[in-house]
């Protein structure tokens, strides 16, 4: 009948006075042994329990608030956990003082040791009228939680059950505290150096070591130094520069920032898990949070702030945008003057300046957008905004944080893709990126203005609004579809770290803004340049030679003669010449590869009501959506066309049915934003996801436009 006895070791940790010893006594009864930890005068109490075929050795660790290396107790507790690797650590938490007590729990969590939280003092919590959502907290911390009342011996049996469950079915769920982009970047850097230099990490987790090095943990520094010899120099150098970098932009030592990060995690978790926050002593952050994350006020405040952000970005951005546009116009004019008429000039002016310039022109908006986002992030508000939107976003299978990039998408999809980075979970991030294109960006607006103005002049505003609305509905629908298919998986609850509010530093904001802007510009300079040239080639070759349908040059000469003989004024000449040049441009485009592709693909688009010109315009929209307008202009031989051009509107009105006009707007809304967007998409999510984005948005655009046209046709 001899049953195998399994021997396990558990350690009890916790803040002083959390009831550790009481719980220890409850568990072990009188079978205790008191000694010292080897080499130090810290008392070590051990005991043994027999339970359900287990022989459980229990060690009462010294009481600590933290696991830094500031006191002997902390070092002893930490080393015991790391070196002796107990099967389970029970953290006794004074649950009437969660915010402070959970600080240790977070650090135990970071040590990646199997953890059970004993929420002791449950009687005091009950009396105070607070209610804690234990299940939710348990999920957020990735550890079982058992409520106990040590002084009355309640909960010991549940604790034992939890221990047995933890050792028999170890299910690892790693929860990580994120310390914000800046710190995370430095952690990555240090981790990379540790790996590259093959620094021994003993039994520690490598990320944990990197964090400890940033915190300047004496113990770990000594250990690593001893273990790695001369190779340590490289590590020391990297850590040093990381600390300098962080200190200079965050104006606090990394140690403080990291501690703030842990408290931010706790705050975020508690804000979700407390059913009823205690009134009484609130600090400033908590008072502000009362208003900003209020169930009722939170959303209107958020909407107001976003509205202000857009006002700021687009009102202020108009000016530098105008200057840059003017600059490029001047540059084009200059090149037109010094470079002979011909291919080189066309490449420089139409291809490169047209393409790269179009992207650069948006830079002021992007800088301002990044600037405001950095202010909102660094002040701590962004985390609250995400918290407020969380409930709504969960309904479509996303997280509150997704809302921020989606809002940015109304401005420009490129920074929106980059903004999706705040989502740590890859699936959440990808779904957010894949639906972002439906948040109609600023560059699409000129297209809507042109088409709505041409076909529905009386109700243009409402028509444009309907397009935006369809975009939002499509985003919601596709989020659910993607969640149910390619990115399936329950969206796990995870903690929204709520850092304390702080006045952002100018330097920090400028660095954030610059880093993101630079990424954008770099793309304009390289890949987008290449694509612009490719587009130019498509729209230029093959060239028509002199075989125009009419003798255009002869016509211009005729007008020049009339001008010289005084029959017409110079203005009239220029006007007539422009009309003829417009016609020539139209024929050149028709003859070009793009024109041919348009006609070749026309059958594919016929069921949507599109003709080949619309196909060509759609292709040009790949470069940038606003280009659709000027391409339409060229195709209808109207020079200098913009969204307000009446002659272009008339031409469109005469050529297409309003249903087709509407359908074209719909198509423009739905297919992926532009080449700059795709370049960034690839960088953020990889080639496969970029191809998926291109494929599924095109398909969706086609199917939706098909349905609208085919169904609409029945009624007209
Ligand atoms: P330690 O410093 O963590 O070892 O804490 P102790 O076990 O010495 O407990 C500190 C005090 O808290 C003692 O007076 C205990 O009787 C009391 N205590 C322990 N658990 C509870 C509990 O669940 N509720 C209440 N009200 N008091 C408790
Ligand atoms: Mg004690």
Regarding whether 187 and 141 lie in a shared domain, the answer is no
CB 264 near ligand 1, within 6 Å:
no
Mark whether 409 and 487 lie in a shared domain. Answer: yes
47 and 129 assigned to the same domain: yes
Considering the domain architecture, whether residues 423 and 395 belong to the same structural domain is answered as: yes
The answer to whether the beta carbons of residues 100 and 65 sit under 8 Å apart is: yes
Residue ending a domain, choose from 224, 252, 275: 275
602 in contact with ligand 1, CB cutoff 6 A: no
**The last residue of a domain, from among 116, 149, 169:** 169
Give the pLDDT of residue 205: 85
Q: By alpha-carbon position, which residue is closest to atom 25 of ligand 1?
A: 121
pLDDT in tens, 290-306: 888 887 888 889 888 87
> How far does the centroid of ligand 2 lie from the alpha carbon of residue 260, in Å?
28
pLDDT at 491 over 70: no
- Asked if residue 536 has pLDDT above 80, the reply is yes
Q: Is residue 139 domain-shared with residue 197, that is, in the same domain?
A: no
233 C-alpha to ligand 1 centroid (Å)? 47
Question: Which of 20, 22, 97 for mutating ligand 1's site (highest number of atoms within 8 Å of CB)?
Answer: 22
Would you say the CB of residue 491 lies under 6 angstroms from ligand 1? Answer: no
Residue 579 lies in a domain: no
Q: Any idea which ligand is nearest the CA of 153?
A: 1
Ligand 1 proximity of 247 Cβ (cutoff 6 Å): no
Task: Give 146 or 68, the one with higher predicted confidence.
Answer: 146
Q: Which atom of ligand 1 is nearest to the CA of 154?
A: 23
For the cut 80, the answer to whether the pLDDT of residue 637 exceeds it is no
pTM across the whole model: 0.63
Q: Is the CB of 155 under 6 A from ligand 1?
A: no
Question: Are residue 198 and residue 231 in the same domain, yes or no?
Answer: yes
Query: What are the helix (H) ranges across 541-592?
Result: 552-564, 570-591
Lowest mean pLDDT among 104-118, 336-350, 504-518, 682-696: 504-518
User: 109 — alpha (psi -120 to 50), left (phi > 0) or beta?
Assistant: alpha
The two structure tokens encoding residue 232: 């340590």
CA of 19 to the centre of ligand 2 (A): 7
CA distance 152 to 26: 9
User: How far, in Å, are 99, 297, 392, 498 from residue 274 at the CA level?
Assistant: 11, 19, 19, 15
Concatenated DSSP letters for 262-295?
HHHHHHHHHHHHBSS---S---HHHHHHHHHT-T
Residue 154: CB within 6 Å of ligand 1? no
Q: Is residue 252 part of a domain?
A: yes
pLDDT value at position 652?
Answer: 92
Find the CATH number of the domain harbouring 18: 3.40.50.300
Q: Is there an atom of ligand 1 within 6 Å of 20 CB?
A: yes
328 is in which domain, residue-wise?
288-542+592-675
**Which of 151, 156, 159 has the most ligand 1 atoms within 8 A of CB, as the residue to mutate?**
151
Q: Is 552 part of any domain?
A: no
- Residue 18 beta carbon below 6 angstroms from any ligand 1 atom: yes
Q: Is residue 560 part of a domain?
A: no
Q: Is the pLDDT of residue 492 over 70?
A: no
With a 6 A CB cut-off, is 63 part of the ligand 1 pocket? yes
87 near 116, Cβ under 8 Å? no
Q: Has residue 373 been placed in a domain?
A: yes
Omega cis (within 30) before 513 = no
Q: Is the dihedral of CA 180, 186, 192, 197 positive or negative?
A: negative
pLDDT at residue 490 tops 80: no
Looking from the CA of residue 124, the nearest atom of ligand 1 is 26
Q: What is the 709 CA–ligand 2 centroid distance (Å)?
A: 76
Name the band, by pLDDT with cuts 50, 70 and 90, for residue 1.
very low
State the average pLDDT for the chain: 86
What pLDDT, on a 0 to 100 scale, did the predictor assign at position 121? 92
Ligand number with the minimum distance to the CA of 65? 1
Q: Is pLDDT at 641 greater than 80 in this prediction?
A: no
Strand partners, 117: 91, 145
From ligand 1's centre to the CA of 55, what distance in Å? 26
- Point out the ligand 1 atom lying closest to the alpha carbon of residue 120: 23
Q: Which two tokens stand for residue 75?
A: 């070092």
Residue nearest to atom 24 of ligand 1 (CA): 121
Find the CATH number of the domain harbouring 193: 1.10.287.1770
- 20, 90 contact by CB (below 8 A): no
> Does 21 contact ligand 1 (Cβ within 6 A)?
yes
Atom of ligand 1 nearest to the CA of 123: 24
Q: Is residue 688 part of a domain?
A: no
Which atom of ligand 1 is nearest to 17's Cα?
A: 2
Question: Whose alpha carbon is nearest atom 1 of ligand 1?
Answer: 17
112 shares its domain with 230: no
Is 683 part of a structural domain of the chain?
no
Domain assignment of residue 395, yes or no: yes
Say yes or no: 417 and 354 in one domain: yes
693, 126, 256, 161: which is closest to 435 by C-alpha?
Answer: 693
Mean pLDDT over residues 216-238, rounded?
90
Same domain, 155 and 237: no
Same domain, 25 and 151: yes
Structural domain ending residue among the three candidates 642, 660, 675:
675
Give the pLDDT score at 2: 47
Q: Is the pLDDT of residue 183 over 60?
A: yes
Lowest model confidence (mean pLDDT) among 276-285, 395-404, 433-442: 276-285
So what's the pLDDT on residue 195?
A: 93
Q: Say if ligand 1 is within 6 A of residue 97 CB.
A: no
> Of ligand 1's atoms, which has the minimum distance to the CA of residue 148?
23
Percent residues over pLDDT 70 in the chain: 94
**Residues around the ion ligand 2 (C-beta < 5 A):** 21
How far does residue 17's CA lie from ligand 2's centre (Å)? 7
For the CA of 15, the nearest atom of ligand 1: 3
Of 47-51, 119-123, 393-397, 426-430, the range with the lowest mean pLDDT is 393-397
> 151 alpha carbon to ligand 2 midpoint, in Å?
13
Ligand 1 pocket test target in 15, 123, 150 with most atoms within 8 Å of CB: 150
* Count of domains forming the chain: 3
């Amino acid at each position: 009948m001899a049953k195998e006895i399994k021997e396990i070791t558990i350690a009890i940790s916790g803040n002083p006075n959390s009831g550790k010893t009481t719980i220890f006594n409850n568990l072990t009864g009188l079978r205790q042994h008191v000694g010292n930890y080897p080499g130090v005068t810290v008392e070590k109490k051990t005991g043994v329990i027999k339970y359900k075929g287990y022989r459980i050795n229990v060690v009462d660790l010294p009481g600590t608030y933290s696991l830094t290396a500031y006191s002997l107790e902390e070092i002893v507790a930490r080393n015991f956990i790391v070196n002796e690797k107990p099967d389970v650590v029970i953290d006794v938490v004074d649950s009437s003082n969660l915010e402070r007590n959970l600080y240790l729990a977070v650090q135990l969590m970071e040590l990646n040791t199997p953890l059970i939280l004993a929420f002791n003092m449950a009687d005091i919590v009950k009396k105070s009228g607070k209610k804690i959502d234990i299940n939710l907290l348990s999920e957020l911390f990735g550890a079982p939680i058992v409520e106990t009342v040590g002084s009355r011996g309640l909960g010991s049996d549940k604790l034992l059950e939890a221990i047995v469950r933890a050792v028999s079915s170890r299910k690892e769920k790693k929860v990580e505290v994120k310390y914000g982009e800046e710190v995370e970047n430095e952690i990555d850097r240090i981790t990379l150096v540790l790996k590259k230099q093959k620094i021994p990490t003993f039994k520690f987790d490598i990320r944990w070591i990197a964090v400890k090095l940033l915190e300047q943990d004496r113990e770990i520094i000594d250990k690593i130094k001893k273990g790695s010899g001369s190779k340590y120099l490289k590590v020391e150098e990297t850590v040093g520069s990381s600390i300098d970098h962080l200190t200079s932009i965050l104006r606090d030592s990394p140690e403080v920032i990291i501690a703030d990060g842990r408290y931010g995690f706790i705050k975020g978790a508690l804000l979700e898990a407390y059913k009823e926050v205690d009134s009484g002593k609130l600090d400033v952050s908590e008072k502000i949070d009362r208003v900003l994350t209020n169930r009722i006020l939170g959303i209107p405040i958020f909407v107001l702030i976003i509205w202000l952000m857009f006002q700021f970005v687009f009102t202020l951005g108009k000016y530098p945008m105008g200057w840059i546009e003017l600059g490029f116009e001047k540059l084009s004019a200059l090149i037109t003057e010094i470079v002979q008429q011909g291919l080189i000039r066309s490449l420089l002016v139409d291809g490169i300046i047209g393409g790269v310039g179009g992207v650069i022109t948006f830079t002021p908006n992007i800088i301002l957008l990044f600037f405001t986002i950095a202010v909102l992030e660094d002040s701590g508000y962004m985390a609250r905004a995400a918290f407020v939107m969380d409930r709504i976003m969960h309904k479509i299978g996303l997280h509150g944080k997704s809302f921020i990039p989606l809002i940015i998408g109304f401005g420009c999809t490129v920074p929106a893709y980059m903004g999706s980075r705040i989502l740590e979970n890859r699936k959440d991030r990808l779904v957010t990126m894949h639906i972002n294109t439906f948040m109609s960006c600023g560059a699409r607006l000129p297209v809507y203005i042109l088409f709505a103005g041409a076909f529905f002049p009386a109700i243009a505003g409402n028509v444009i609004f309907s397009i935006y609305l369809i975009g939002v509905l499509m985003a919601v629908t596709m989020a659910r579809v993607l969640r149910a298919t390619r990115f399936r998986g329950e969206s796990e609850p995870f903690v929204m770290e709520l850092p304390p509010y702080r006045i952002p530093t100018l330097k920090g904001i400028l660095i954030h803004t610059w880093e993101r802007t630079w990424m954008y510009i770099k793309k304009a300079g390289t890949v987008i340049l290449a694509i612009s040239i490719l587009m130019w080639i498509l729209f230029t070759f093959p060239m028509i030679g002199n075989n125009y349908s009419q003798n255009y040059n002869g016509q211009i000469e005729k007008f020049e003669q009339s001008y010289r003989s005084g029959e017409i004024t110079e203005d009239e000449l220029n006007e007539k010449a422009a009309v003829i040049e417009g016609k020539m441009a139209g024929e050149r485009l028709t003859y070009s590869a793009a024109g041919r592709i348009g006609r070749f693909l026309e059958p594919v688009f016929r069921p949507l009501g599109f003709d080949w010109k619309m196909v060509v315009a759609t292709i040009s929209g790949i470069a940038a959506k606003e280009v659709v307008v000027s391409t339409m202009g060229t195709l209808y031989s109207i020079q200098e066309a913009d969204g307000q051009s009446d002659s272009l509107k008339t031409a469109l009105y005469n050529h297409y049915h309003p249903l087709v006009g509407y359908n074209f707007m719909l198509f423009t809304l739905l297919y992926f934003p532009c080449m700059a967007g795709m370049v960034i998409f690839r960088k953020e999510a990889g080639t496969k996801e970029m191809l998926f984005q291109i494929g599924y948005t095109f398909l969706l655009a086609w199917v939706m436009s098909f349905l609208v046209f085919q169904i609409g046709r029945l009624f007209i």
